[in-house]
Structure 1
Amino acid sequence: MLETRSDKITEAVNYALLTLISLIVLYPLLFVLVASISNPESVLRGEVWLWPKDITFVGYERILGNPEIMRSYGNTIAYTIVGTAVNLVMTIAAAYPLSRKDFAGRGLFTALIVFTMFFSGGMIPTYLIIKKLGLLGSFWVMIIPSAVSVWNVIIMRTFFTTGIPVEMQEAAAMDGCTNMQLLMRIVLPLSMPVIAVMVLFYSVGHWNAYFNALLYLNDRGMYPLQLILREILVQGQMQEMVDVSDDSLARSMMDAEAIKYAAVIVANLPVLMLYPFLQKYFVKGVMIGAVKG
């Protein structure tokens, strides 16, 4: 089809708006990156905009040289890997039966699961349950309470229902496949887009999680990275990374400013590196259930 003049104008306006929005979104990331390797005095004076000034890596040196931050980094990696694996298994185990039309009572179970999206026991009852289960202060307290996301179960169930032909499942059943073989050999290999989306959702959630650690962990050796960064960025507890006795108070404040920006980069770098590989699957995941018919 030939584009009319109005179509070309609309397309140009759309591109201009998208470019403006992209710049608005990307500039804060660029600024944090530039500020993390710039002289903190220049950053505080507002002299840093697009390019680093008086390049220094003092923030990264302080972070990488601090054993507590590196230990919490390892904790976060462990929580993310184990937690994402548990999330995937539990989500698939819940979504697949709910997607089967021959599963008796699936409407009732779906309603019970969705009910938990709107109503919960609250913080204190949840804390008491976790305490009774003996999970306080353990590794699994960061995994089990968030083992299943109802929203993600619904997304995966929708994909199983609309994305995989029923005829294919029936043909596999006629060939002698059991339900488990059908799931492992037919359904999951065809569900890689939604599985990739779940990996992205769950891994980002575990990577950014700090509230459960704040409530249930009392051993600093088990703290995730985000809880340590919370102390740095919100509470300003910098004394373990900044040696005030060697420098003046002003110098210490400058180092603390550099540490703040470097910590943001270190914390978000793995997620920024993961997203490009899953971006195409993420788009497919957003479109799940959008097309009917």
Structure 2
Amino acid sequence: MTTIEKSSKKVSGLRWPGSEGPSRAAWEEEPSKAVKAAKSATLIIVVLAVLLPLYTIILTSISSQSTITNAGGLVIIPGEITWDAYRQIFTGGVVTRAIMVSVGITVVGTILSMVVSVLCAYGLSRPGTLAHTPLLFVLLITMFFAAGMIPSYLLVSGLGMIDSYAALILPSCISVFNIIILRGFFMGIDQGILDSARIDGASEWRILGQIVMPMSKAVTAVIALFYGVGYWNAFFNAILYINDSSKNPLQVVLRSYVLQGVSVPGQIAVGQGVAASLALQMAVIVVAMVPILFVYPFVQKHFTKGVMIGAVKG
């Protein structure tokens, strides 16, 4: 083996018999034990920073008044366990109705937002479509310049959507940022595949439904998660446009109970006791968190790939 060949092999990071070069490239060297320990400690701290508040909230929500009083607030060490807080919020009917409203808004809003965003992004990703550049320019303008709260309220009021569920969906139906992400992914699909489908007689609707969408599961799953979390956590539109308290979503009820200290209505059966106020607040927080925690594992396998869309490729 010549000297040039050995040198090239050393640069590539491979060890050859009799050579004294490193077994891997300099930037791929195995970290020292101190670096590994620091990384492990950092990960442990991050995990604890995430799990400890969740643990405290859940434990406080199922703790009795005496346990909360002894702890001086949020409970860290388990004491007397009771489910009175959950019984009370579900017996009263307010939280149950708010959950149904939030679920309906989230499901309908996410489906509507995904349909509009996918159609818009696919149209903008195809060269030569009608008014391609002007429409894209108009969308981009809305990312930097917003009408403001008062014009938005006047528009919703003029359309007759005050105190209706449509006011909780339509004003936030489209996210230009999500459309741009979808458009970038659709533009990255091999044009030859789409041209072959057109030659075979497939329409644009069939190409979108049977070719583009199956190839876009990762990005659509992540965008759907973004829309879903946005609808589930939204409360400002309800504060602005909803006057009937029976139409309030869960986040508005959560805001009333936790931040404003409004008492939770509802009676519990005799002998079960009355839940502590702090336990009720934490129970409502838990109820608001559960759906997102339940949905995320089903989307997580697509999440890593989806969030990397648009990243710089090496």
TM-score with structure 1 setting the length: 0.90
- Equivalent pair of 1:37/1:52 in contact (CA under 8 Å): no
- Equivalent pair of 1:141/1:216 in contact (CA under 8 Å): yes
Match of 1:255 among 265, 276, 289: 276
C-alpha distance in 1 between matches for 2:157 and 2:132: 32
Q: Which amino acid aligns with 1:264?
A: I
Q: Which amino acid aligns with 1:277?
A: F
Residue of structure 2 in register with 1:40 after alignment: 65
User: What is the CA-CA distance between 1:146 and the residue it aligns to?
Assistant: 1.0
5 Å-filtered alignment, 1:1-293, equals: 4=29, 6-46=31-71, 50-162=76-188, 164-238=189-263, 240-241=265-266, 255-292=276-313
Q: After superposition, what is the alpha-carbon deviation per residue over 1:133-182, rounded to whole angstroms, capped at 9, x for unaligned? A: 111111211111111011111111111112x2111111111111111111
- Equivalent pair of 1:113/1:150 in contact (CA under 8 Å): yes
Quickly say closer, same or farther: Cα 1:255–1:103, change in 2 above 3 A: same
User: What is the CA-CA distance between 1:66 and the residue it aligns to?
Assistant: 1.1
SS in 1 for 2:202: coil
User: What is the CA-CA distance between 1:74 and the residue it aligns to?
Assistant: 0.6
How many residues of Structure 1 are paired with residues of Structure 2 in the alignment? 286
Percent identity between matched residues is 38
SS in 2 for 1:20: helix
- Equivalent pair of 2:264/2:280 in contact (CA under 8 Å): no
Larger radius of gyration: 2
Structure 1 unaligned blocks of 5 or more: none
Q: After superposition, what is the alpha-carbon deviation per residue over 1:64-113, rounded to whole angstroms, capped at 9, x for unaligned? A: 11111111111111111100110001101111011112325423322210
C-alpha distance in 1 between matches for 2:231 and 2:108: 10
- Equivalent pair of 1:35/1:261 in contact (CA under 8 Å): yes
C-alpha distance in 2 between matches for 1:255 and 1:27: 21
Structure 2 unaligned blocks of 5 or more: 1-22
User: What is the CA-CA distance between 1:239 and the residue it aligns to?
Assistant: 5.7
Residue of structure 1 in register with 2:9 after alignment: none
Mean Cα displacement is larger for which, 1-10 or 126-135? Answer: 1-10
C-alpha distance in 2 between matches for 1:68 and 1:223: 9
Residue of structure 1 in register with 2:7 after alignment: none
Mean Cα displacement is larger for which, 132-141 or 96-105? Answer: 96-105
Mean Cα displacement is larger for which, 103-112 or 66-75? Answer: 103-112
User: What is the CA-CA distance between 1:193 and the residue it aligns to?
Assistant: 0.9
C-alpha distance in 2 between matches for 1:235 and 1:17: 36
RMSD: 2.3
